Amino acid sequence: MEQMSLFDNGLGSGGIPPEVSSEYEGLVKTLNYHAKRYYDEDTPEISDYEYDMMNNRLKTIEKEYPSIISPDSPSLRVGWKASKGKKVKHNVPMLSLQDVFSKEEVYEFVNSMREQLGPDTEFLVETKIDGLSMSLRYDNGVLTTAVTRGDGITEGEDVTENATQIPDVVLKMPYPIEYIEIRGEVYMTRAAFEAVNEAASLKGAKTFANPRNCAAGTLRGEANVTKERGLSLFIFNIQESRGRTFKTHSEGYEFLRKNGVTTIEQYFKCNTADEVWEAIQKIGDMRGDLAYDIDGAVVKLNDIEARKTLGNTIKFPRWAIAYKYPPEEKETKLIDVEVNTGRTGRVTPVAVFEPIRLCGTSVSRATLHNQDFIDEMEIGIGDTLIVYKSGEIIPKIKGVNKDKRPSDWRPYKLPENCPICGHKLVREADAADLKCINLNCPGTVVNGILNFVSRDAMNIKGMGYELVKALVDGGYVKDFSDIFTLKDQRDTLIENKVLGLAKNTDKLLMSIDSSVASATAENVLSGLGIPNVGKATARELLKAFKSIDNIMDAKAEDLSAVEDIGQISAEGIYGFMHDEDNRALLLRLKAAGLNFESRNVVTSDVFAGKTFVITGTLPNMSRDEATKYIESHGGKVSSSVSKKTTCLVEGADAGSKAVKARELGIQIISEEELLALGGS
């Protein structure tokens, strides 16, 4: 079956090099994926700076090859389609701003405006708040509607109820006019953000990545939560007005402040490019002293009529730009390296350095990731590190100033044994991470149990984090096997109200019994948390050895003979299976009735020798069902795309795997095409 591409429709013959078409297609997919995470889901995976750099590359390609522009290019979109709550039509588009990253681009903009409008042209330079855009509409001074940007052109989300819970939102203006719509940025101070994350940590709940995403998720959530979290608002523009006109932007600010509206705090009036650049530098210097995050400085015309004359592009006003500051970085001395064993068993080195202030907060720690990262950076105790903040919140190590290296310098090496339990650490195959494989390690027991009871493993419904932690802290569960003896402690669990009512306790015990009856050997093996042994590898092992007992007795060389199990993985599995504590635990699990025998059934070999990757949401099959279908026809399913991948099965909302598959020229098929290839 011949692979089809979104960009095969004549672009290759239009003088565009194939490698450029491939790069462009990957950029469109990747940027749209991250934009959805940012705007729609409030769960970004990369920093604004990383996104901006990719977006700049996309714009460069589009400028050089205009015919390549795709209908779904991020360059043609302002925000993201509103997907939650009641929708509201925009009266005035809530456009984005053209981002610039250099002094030359700032001068080019300012001088262009002066050439078109005259030497007396006045600019305002003000802080660019890192938050969520929102417009407020007032009839005769009374707030009627609050709406988010949404797609920026057509519609946004109605957040009126939540907006009324923000102290900075004026509900009734004392000096009203017939109608006014004002636009601002909803944000969180760093203090408010830290309080929310601290409270979430105490509850064992998920924390937010940065203040912007916390503010966005809060504004679009429940009104009572909005009130609790302490959101703030700065207004930066008058979108539309009736009953009064404003000659300048600054005059509009004066009117709004008279009505108690909180407008942008820091702004400078300028005439020349030198003055504008000086104002940008001043704002940059004060970043650390502000109580909130800014990610740039906005340069805009002060004259309203001049703005109307210049108008807008499909995405940006022509009368304003946003200068984006590069990530802030400083030097500091590395004092120590802490080594922590996390809940997954992964060992993480953390740099402890002399405190420095970045983006307004004091930082003294940053992850060193793994030994490969440490070796690549050539890091040793006493080194002078270069630290920066990613996305205005996460400190990262950029490098080392080797000119300031101490005379007794030595490269840092991670310990060979777990810092908590002392077991020898194992390196994951095709990765740089070290893991503690001791199932009884205090640092890993809670998360190890959560993995064991998860849907892809034993599928014990009702065993979430809070319950597992309570069972471990209470001494009811010390390892996996104790889960299957909880029925012997039923009365004690009810008496101590570990799960609340007797009904809840019995429901959990029934779920445990059900999992014993239904779980396969593959579920058991993949749930053990052996490094590099997920469901796919567990299936391959059981195909080869037929039972967990045989795997326990296998030699390392026999394990490495299994397809796609390398020497490092084989040694890790062998080490796990021959650890005295782990073997004792496995015997207890078998005695509890868990299935150790393979049930793999192959109905045909039509996919023999082929490797598939599944990504996105398929229309009719779950990912597990698709995996079983492929394997029942002799194929193999991998979790990652590589040159060994035969086909990628693509569903809705496919992410980076689809991008990589296209870059590698791998055949991409739908669920329907998969079934056709399998003969169904």
Q: What is the 3-state secondary structure (H, E, C) of 523-589?
A: HHHHHCCCCCCCHHHHHHHHHHHCEHHHHHHCCHHHHHCCCCCCHHHHHHHHHHHCCHHHHHHHHHH
User: What average pLDDT values come out for the chain (680 residues) when binned by 10 residues?
Assistant: 36 68 86 72 64 84 86 71 73 92 96 95 95 94 94 90 93 96 93 82 66 83 82 96 96 96 93 97 86 91 96 92 87 92 80 84 85 92 88 78 92 90 78 78 79 88 84 89 93 87 89 90 90 82 90 92 82 89 92 86 79 87 83 83 89 78 87 86
pLDDT given at position 4: 34
| CATH of the domain spanning 425-591 | 1.10.150.20
User: H or E stretch including 672?
Assistant: helix 671-677
Whole-prediction pTM:
0.54
In the chain, residues under CATH classification 3.30.470.30 are 87-324
| CATH of the domain spanning 87-324 | 3.30.470.30
pLDDT given at position 45: 65
Matching residue, tokens 């080019």: 108
Contact in structure between 634 and 606 (CB atoms under 8 Å):
yes
What does the alpha-carbon distance between residue 247 and residue 307 come to, in Å, rounded to a whole number?
Answer: 11
Distances (CA, A) of 174 to 142, 165, 168, 258, 535: 9, 19, 15, 8, 65
In the chain, residues under CATH classification 1.10.150.20 are 425-591
What 3-state class would DSSP assign to 162?
Answer: helix
Supply 177's token pair: 């006019």
Q: Which of 29, 81, 89, 128 is catalytic?
A: 128
pLDDT given at position 47: 67
Supply 394's token pair: 């996460």
- Measured torsion, CA atoms of residues 412, 417, 418, 424, in degrees rounded to the nearest 10: 140
User: Per-residue DSSP letters for 447-493?
Assistant: HHHHHHHSTTTT--TT--HHHHHHHHHTTS-SSGGGGGGGGGGHHHH
pLDDT given at position 21: 85
Tell me yes or no: is domain 329-404 CATH 1.10.10.10.
Answer: no
Active site residue 89: no
User: Per-residue DSSP letters for 72-111?
Assistant: T-GGG-SS----SS-EEE-SS-----EEE-SHHHHHHHHH
Supply 501's token pair: 């009512």
Contact in structure between 231 and 187 (CB atoms under 8 Å):
yes
Supply 566's token pair: 């390398």
Tell me yes or no: is domain 18-76 CATH 3.90.650.10.
Answer: no
In the chain, residues under CATH classification 2.40.50.140 are 329-404
What 3-state class would DSSP assign to 602?
Answer: coil
Instruction: Report the candidate in 288, 237, 296, 298 with the shortest Cα–Cα distance to residue 267.
Output: 298
Q: In CATH, what class is 611-677?
A: alpha beta
How many other C-beta atoms lie within 10 A of the C-beta of residue 617? 12
Instruction: Report the candidate in 229, 226, 119, 244 with the shortest Cα–Cα distance to residue 181.
Output: 244
In the chain, residues under CATH classification 1.10.287.610 are 18-76
In the chain, residues under CATH classification 3.40.50.10190 are 611-677
